Amino acid sequence: METDGIFLVKDLAGCQVFTVEGRDLGVLQDVLPTGANDVYVVGEGANEVLIPALKSVVKKIDIQNKRIEVDLPKGLPVIL
C-alpha cells in the first residue's frame, strides 16, 4: 500500500529492481532503516547491492507489477 510515496516493506520485498537503463539488479530482499534514509538490499550473496532509498535514486516504484527503477549514484559498487 502506498500513501504519498511511502511504501510498506512487505510491499517492496520481492520487487525486481532495474536501473533506468534497463539493467536487472535482482530482487529487493529487505529494507534497512538507517536513520537518515532507508537502504534497499537487492540481490543475494556476492551479487548483493545496497541502494539508498532517496528520491534522487529511486525513480519509479510499481507495486502492482513488482518493479522498481533506480538511477544508481556514481561510484556505487555493483558487481553482477
Residue 9 is assigned to a structural domain of this protein: yes
56-57-60-61 Cα dihedral, nearest 10 degrees: -120
CATH of the domain at 28: 2.30.30.240
Residue 51 is assigned to a structural domain of this protein: yes
Residue 77 is assigned to a structural domain of this protein: no
Residue 45 is assigned to a structural domain of this protein: yes
State the residue range of the domain holding 33: 2-70
Task: Check pLDDT > 60 for residue 11.
Answer: yes
Residue 16 is assigned to a structural domain of this protein: yes
What would the DSSP string read from start to end of 35-67? SSSEEEEES-GGG-EEEE--TTTEEEEETTTTE
Render pLDDT for 24-78 as a digit per residue (tens, 0 to 9).
Answer: 999 999 999 998 899 999 998 888 999 999 999 999 999 999 999 999 988 766 6
Domain count, the chain: 1
Task: Check pLDDT > 90 for residue 79.
Answer: no
